[in-house]
Amino acid sequence: MDTLFTHIETARRNENAPLAARMRPDTLDGFVGQAQAVGPGSWLRRAIEHDTLSSVILYGPAGTGKTTLARIIAHTTHAEFVEVSAVTGTVKDLRREIEAAQSRLLSLGRRTILFVDEIHRFNRSQQDALLHAVEDRTVVLVGATTENPYFEVNSALISRSRVVELQPLDDDSIRELLARAVAAPEGLAGAYELTPEAADEIVTLSGGDGRAALTSLELASQMVDPPADGERPDGAAAAPLRILPEHVREANPRRGLPYDKSGDMHYDVISAFIKSMRGSDPDAVLYWLARMLDAGEDPKFIARRIMICASEDVGNADPTALLVAHAAFRATEVIGMPECRINLAQAAIYLALAPKSNAAEAGIDAALAEVRSGPRREVPSHLRDRHRPGSDEYGPYLYPHNYPAGWVKQQYLPDGLERGSFYHAGPRGWEAWRQEAIGRERAWDNGDGGVCHTPEV
């Protein structure tokens, strides 16, 4: 039961709490953004408002409102709300809370909502300890994670829960958070005026992270010098102190965009980088490369992806691309950061500007599919090794260098497969040029009576 001392302690904690914590709303009416997840008519909103919540995993980047939603649930539900730390919690802690929830349910008929922040930090045995309790609804699980739950959370636990994905906050939502924080009594209480330019600076710096935006606002307010003694007339009301862009920049000397080297952002950015090289956009290539390097991504990881792209997307349209990519990888190994950023940029731009062909990748994948699912096919006798008894009965092998064009019409594929089954040359670059040249070379007789052949490539 709350007492006078409880309220005093709460007030003191709030006085020393960060601005982001003080501005955390208790109801859905005060929640900003995430209309797709918790807007009017959404499943989650109805479940919270009607106090009929079933197990849910909130998934999204930092600062998108996962913990805030958990706090709102705690303030609106009639169920018991308990929290277990995924950082310090143990299986013993989980079992204790589950036993308490079962006792509460049987003796009082009261449900228990168990909030686990950063649930992906629980190991498999800890997650397994939750399964039975979640399945029979001894507890209603509310998990929060910045990692993709389909990879990091036990699939059995996922199947017993609903995953709700939260997105980075849009610019308007960030601005609304800032305006509320400036005016609210629990925030800056109107003591400061945030200029539009300073608000724009915070929006840019936050990268969709509401907590980061409020932290930037709080730090910027601390950079504002109060008026000197004697500058305000006696009895005059104190004018709000103006937060300017330079205050924001002073409080945030270096911008850090969200990037988790082991999480979804890591895969999203490298995917965008590869697709930009494939799509021949050097500006996008440089932007995504800079995002990775600025976040401290392993440059050898980037170099390996460039080498893969050189064969997968450029291939023999420009065979030099693989040499450039390999040289960049070696330079990355030998030189390291920060200088190897230039080698990586050179190689990535080269690949972006190079003619494209996926014939190598498509060809080997088609051949592998045939090998794995097709029938057993024998090597044609004239191609077999001759160093064995009975090899003199094999068919004659025609040595291509004995013919003027350096080529002779001859079967190389096993029976049942035709030329063109796997390799389809791209229409660009060296690959296309060689196709035309080979066609011309093979259009004339190889010594079989002066017959002009249709080119077969």
Q: Which residue has the tokens 């699912």?
A: 373
Cα gap 154→129, rounded to integer Å: 11
Residue 455: pLDDT band by 50, 70, 90 thresholds? Answer: very low
Q: What fold characterizes domain 264-353?
A: Zinc Finger, Delta Prime; domain 3 (1.20.272)
> Quick one: angle between helices 210-222 and 196-206, nearest 10?
130
Segment 387-416 shows an average pLDDT of 87
Highest mean pLDDT among 26-30, 255-259, 266-270, 315-319: 315-319
The residue length of the chain stands at 457
In the chain, the amino acid numbered 448 is D
CB-based contact 388:339 (threshold 8 Å): no
Three-point CA angle 30, 32, 35, nearest 5°: 115
Q: Which residues of 440-450 are buried (b: 16+ CB within 10 A; e: fewer)?
A: eebeeebeeee
Domain with CATH 1.20.272.10 in the chain: 264-353
3-state secondary structure of 431: helix
Q: Residue 233's pLDDT is what? A: 52
Segment 57-62 shows an average pLDDT of 89
Q: Residue 452's pLDDT is what? A: 37
Segment 235-239 shows an average pLDDT of 62
> Do β-strands 192-194 and 112-117 pair in parallel, antiparallel, or remain unpaired?
unpaired
> Quick one: angle between helices 299-309 and 320-335, nearest 10?
170
Domain with CATH 1.10.8.60 in the chain: 171-225+240-251
Residue 13: pLDDT band by 50, 70, 90 thresholds? Answer: low
β-sheet bridge partners, residue 192: 241
Q: Residue 174's pLDDT is what? A: 93
- Does the domain at 362-441 match CATH 1.10.3710.10? Answer given as yes
DSSP letter for each residue of 248-272: HHHH-SS------TTSHHHHHHHHH
CATH C-level class of 34-165: alpha beta
Q: Residue 5's pLDDT is what? A: 47
Query: Is the predicted pLDDT of residue 337 greater than 70, yes or no?
Result: yes
Cα gap 291→348, rounded to integer Å: 14
Query: Is the predicted pLDDT of residue 58 greater than 50, yes or no?
Result: yes
Q: pTM for this one? A: 0.63
Q: Which residue has the tokens 């900003």?
A: 32
Domain with CATH 3.40.50.300 in the chain: 34-165
DSSP letter for each residue of 285-321: HHHHHHHHHHTT--HHHHHHHHHHHIIIIIGGGSTHH
143 Cα distance to chain centroid: 20
- Does the domain at 171-225+240-251 match CATH 1.10.8.60? Answer given as yes
Range in 52-66, 191-205, 256-270 with the lowest mean pLDDT: 256-270
Q: What is the pLDDT of residues 99-147, one digit of tens each?
A: 999 999 999 989 999 999 888 888 888 888 889 989 889 999 999 998 8
Query: Is the predicted pLDDT of residue 451 greater than 50, yes or no?
Result: no
Q: Residue 312's pLDDT is what? A: 96
Q: Say how many C-beta atoms besides its own lie within 10 A of residue 303's C-beta.
A: 24
Q: Which of 24, 22, 70, 30 is nearest to 48 (CA)?
A: 70
Q: Residue 444's pLDDT is what? A: 59
DSSP H helix total and E strand total for the chain: 20, 7
Q: Residue 411's pLDDT is what? A: 92
Highest mean pLDDT among 147-156, 323-332, 444-453: 323-332
Mean pLDDT of the residues in the chain: 86
DSSP 58: E
> Hey, what are 28's tokens?
């859905």
Residue 448: pLDDT band by 50, 70, 90 thresholds? Answer: very low
Percent of all residues in the chain with a pLDDT value above 90, rounded to a whole number: 52
CA distances from 169 to 145, 216, 378, 434, 457 (A): 16, 15, 61, 52, 55
Q: Residue 12's pLDDT is what? A: 61
Q: Following CA atoms 443, 445, 446, 447 in sequence, which dihedral angle do they give, to the nearest 10 degrees?
A: 180
Phi, psi of 137 (to 5 degrees): 60, 30
Percent of all residues in the chain with a pLDDT value above 70, rounded to a whole number: 88
Cα gap 261→430, rounded to integer Å: 37
Residue 232: pLDDT band by 50, 70, 90 thresholds? Answer: low
Residue 450: pLDDT band by 50, 70, 90 thresholds? Answer: very low
Query: Is the predicted pLDDT of residue 192 greater than 90, yes or no?
Result: yes
3-state secondary structure of 211: helix
Range in 1-15, 116-130, 159-173 with the lowest mean pLDDT: 1-15
Segment 241-245 shows an average pLDDT of 92
CB-based contact 106:136 (threshold 8 Å): no
Q: Say how many C-beta atoms besides its own lie within 10 A of residue 191's C-beta.
A: 14
Considering Cα of 10, then 11, then 12, then 17, what sign does the dihedral take? positive
Question: Residues near 15 by Cβ (< 8 Å), separated by ≥ 6?
Answer: none
CA distances from 392 to 181, 237, 383, 386 (A): 91, 110, 12, 8
In the chain, the amino acid numbered 91 is V
Q: Residue 390's pLDDT is what? A: 77
